[in-house]
């Protein structure tokens, strides 16, 4: 048989050969994002002498990084120095780029950050953030917006992403049972940066040249961060829980497991269950503390990840836009650039500082509240409050009421900060925190550019800067987005029991509403005998509202079967019970 020609062989082999590199790349990416555990050596564990310093040190580091939130103070001076048209708003784009790059950087380098010592990533983030300030100073000196975007937007944005994720990751892991309060305490510094640096930036601009202000600001930040980063270290092995425990380890749960093992196990089999086995059923969940830890690949296939992603994006987009535009909004709608120019009731840099205080306090207060009443309930409250705020703000600017407008902005900012304070704890069992921060990028770049584009469109159509129509249109689409986020949050399964709860036959949807579980079935629902169960029938579509007793029985039965499975698996592998 004649051999195929080389060209034929190449043609036949090319599809497989082209697919092979793609498979290798995909495999390497999955390996990179699947293994994020940090394994310190004995010397690194020995360095952890001041664990109580993790939160204050993390707060101060993020306080320095949070100076980016006071960027709005630089907008007007930079536009006047670098542009012939100061009203075009080119400096604002720098803020959007920086936060956009922050999220993408967290997604790309997140696994490396989580699997390495925070000193390594901390130093890199600190140096790049400082380099971004130096390049911003050079850009102002040579009057180049492109260099400003690259320096402060891109280079400093990379430093922000690396430094933010590494600090949050190390700080929150020291208190695994109070992740909301711990993460909120650390990220509170990020909001606090706007509070202090709005005054510092204002003073630097008034006392020095604009380019010198960036050099001095960068030097202040890198000096403070270098000292604080010496106290940032991860917890020793075994202290932090990878994922979230399946059940609580309280005495109430152990008693419920003991009752389930005692009452249910003998009824399921004619074989007598020994006291040793019963004890195993009752205590294994408490002693071994099995957890759920979802890898990135699994998270990307989970509807809960994407529902939370959209809800988080909806929660932050409004305030991200306002953070970079609040001075302009105050001056155009209520101040010196208004229809009747006059001094605003409150200077814009003071309003930005107070906004930073709400941002800062929201991060720790909401994080603590989520530890108390639950993450999903807290998130729903934040989104509902934002919808109310966005519905009321157009009325305040149309009627010219300054203080109600500003108070509503501050309330929304508290919700914004609260989302960031709660999300690290929310994500402890879902996926890499860095990947999730791409929502920050989308919200800052997409939201910011959309806001600016709509305003510029109306200005080019003949509207004046003080007209309310461009801003009301922006508030309308933002409110619609927050409403979508509210629906996503309602549909999200936030607790371990909700995610693991056994599905009924022919179930197409399960959702918890006001503490009760609702299951949607496409065929006639099965009525559990002896249990209060409400069913609404719409043809073949059935809605089943589980009672507390029914939900409890199903869940305890699932836990018993889970423990039995683990017990039999240990017996098969030769383990002794």
| 527 within domain boundaries | no
Please give the torsion angle defined by the CA atoms of residues 157, 161, 162 and 165, in that order, rounded to the nearest 10 degrees. 160
Q: Which two tokens stand for residue 112?
A: 């490396």
Helix, strand or coil, per DSSP, at residue 246: coil
CATH number at residue 391: 1.20.1250.20
Answer for the pair 434, 107: CB distance below 8 angstroms, yes or no.
Answer: yes
Q: Which two tokens stand for residue 76?
A: 């007007």
Residue spans of beta strands (DSSP E) within 407-546? 507-513, 516-521, 534-538, 541-545
Mean pLDDT by groups of 10 residues along the chain of 577 residues: 45 50 73 66 62 79 88 87 72 87 85 80 93 95 93 94 84 66 71 80 91 94 91 67 46 48 45 45 48 60 82 89 83 82 83 83 80 82 94 91 92 88 67 72 85 88 86 93 92 74 80 77 56 64 81 78 69 56
Q: Quick one: pLDDT at residue 93? A: 86
| 572 within domain boundaries | no
Q: Quick one: pLDDT at residue 238? A: 56
| 502 within domain boundaries | no
Q: Quick one: pLDDT at residue 76? A: 84
What is the gyration radius of the CA atoms in the chain, in angstroms? 28
Q: Which two tokens stand for residue 299?
A: 């998270």
| 353 within domain boundaries | yes
Report phi then psi at 309, rounded to 5.
-60, -50
What is the total count of domains within the chain? 1
CA distance 536 to 89: 56
Partners of residue 521 on adjacent β-strands: 507, 542
CA distance 372 to 378: 9
| 170 within domain boundaries | yes
| 247 within domain boundaries | no
Q: What do you get for the CA distance between the two ends of the chain, in Å?
A: 65
Helix, strand, coil fractions of the chain, as percent rounded to 5? 75, 5, 20
| 268 within domain boundaries | no
Residue-range definition of the domain harbouring residue 375: 46-237+294-491
CA distance 543 to 522: 9
| 374 within domain boundaries | yes
């Amino acid at each position: 048989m004649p051999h195929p020609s080389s060209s034929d062989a190449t043609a036949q082999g090319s599809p497989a050969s082209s697919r092979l590199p793609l498979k290798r790349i995909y495999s390497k990416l999955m390996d990179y994002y699947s293994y994020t555990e940090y394994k310190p050596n004995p010397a690194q564990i020995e360095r952890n002498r001041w664990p109580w310093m993790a939160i204050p040190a993390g707060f101060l580091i993020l306080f320095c990084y949070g100076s980016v939130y006071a960027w709005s103070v630089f907008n007007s001076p930079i536009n006047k120095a670098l542009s012939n048209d100061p009203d075009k708003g080119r400096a604002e784009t720098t803020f959007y780029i920086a936060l956009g790059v922050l999220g993408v950087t967290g997604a790309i380098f997140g696994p490396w950050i989580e699997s390495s010592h925070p000193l390594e990533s901390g130093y890199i983030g600190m140096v790049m953030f400082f380099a971004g300030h130096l390049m911003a100073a050079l850009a102002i000196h040579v009057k180049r917006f492109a260099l400003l975007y690259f320096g402060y937007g891109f280079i400093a944005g990379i430093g922000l992403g690396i430094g933010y994720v590494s600090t949050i990751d190390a700080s929150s892991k020291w208190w695994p049972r109070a992740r909301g309060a711990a993460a909120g305490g650390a990220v509170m510094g990020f909001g606090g940066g706007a509070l202090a640096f709005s005054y510092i930036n204002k003073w630097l601009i008034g006392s020095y040249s604009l380019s010198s202000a960036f050099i001095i600001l960068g030097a202040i930040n890198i000096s403070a961060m270098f000292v604080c980063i010496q106290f940032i270290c991860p917890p020793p092995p075994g202290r932090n829980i990878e994922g979230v425990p399946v059940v609580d380890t309280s005495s109430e749960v152990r008693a419920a497991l003991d009752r389930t093992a005692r009452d249910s196990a003998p009824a399921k089999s004619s074989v007598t269950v020994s006291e040793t086995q019963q004890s195993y059923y009752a205590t294994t969940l408490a002693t071994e503390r099995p957890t759920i830890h979802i890898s990135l690949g699994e998270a990307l296939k989970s509807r809960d990840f994407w529902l939370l992603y959209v809800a988080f994006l909806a929660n932050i987009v409004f305030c991200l836009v306002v953070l970079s535009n609040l001075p302009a909004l105050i001056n155009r709608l209520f101040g010196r650039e208004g229809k009747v120019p006059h001094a605003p009731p409150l200077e814009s840099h003071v309003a930005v500082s107070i906004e930073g205080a709400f941002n800062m306090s929201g991060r720790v207060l909401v994080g603590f509240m989520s530890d108390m009443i639950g993450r999903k309930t807290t998130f729903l409250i934040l989104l509902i409050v934002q919808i109310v705020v966005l519905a009321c703000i157009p009325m305040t600017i149309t009627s010219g009421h300054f203080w109600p407008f500003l108070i509503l902005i501050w309330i929304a900012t508290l919700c914004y900060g609260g989302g960031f304070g709660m999300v690290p704890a929310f994500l402890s069992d879902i996926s890499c925190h860095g990947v999730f921060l791409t929502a920050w990028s989308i919200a800052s770049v997409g939201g910011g550019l959309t806001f600016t584009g709509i305003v510029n469109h109306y200005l080019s159509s003949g509207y004046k800067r003080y007209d309310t129509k461009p801003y009301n249109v922006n508030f309308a689409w933002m409110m619609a987005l927050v409403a979508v986020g509210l629906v996503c949050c309602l549909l999200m399964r936030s607790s371990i029991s909700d995610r693991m709860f056994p599905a009924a036959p022919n179930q197409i949807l399960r959702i918890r509403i006001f503490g009760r579980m609702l299951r949607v079935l496409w065929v006639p629902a099965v009525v559990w005998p002896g249990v209060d169960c409400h069913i609404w029938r719409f043809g073949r579509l059935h809605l089943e509202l589980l009672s507390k007793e029914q939900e409890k029985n199903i869940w305890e039965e699932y836990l018993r079967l889970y423990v039995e499975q683990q017990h039999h698996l240990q017996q098969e592998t030769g383990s002794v019970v």
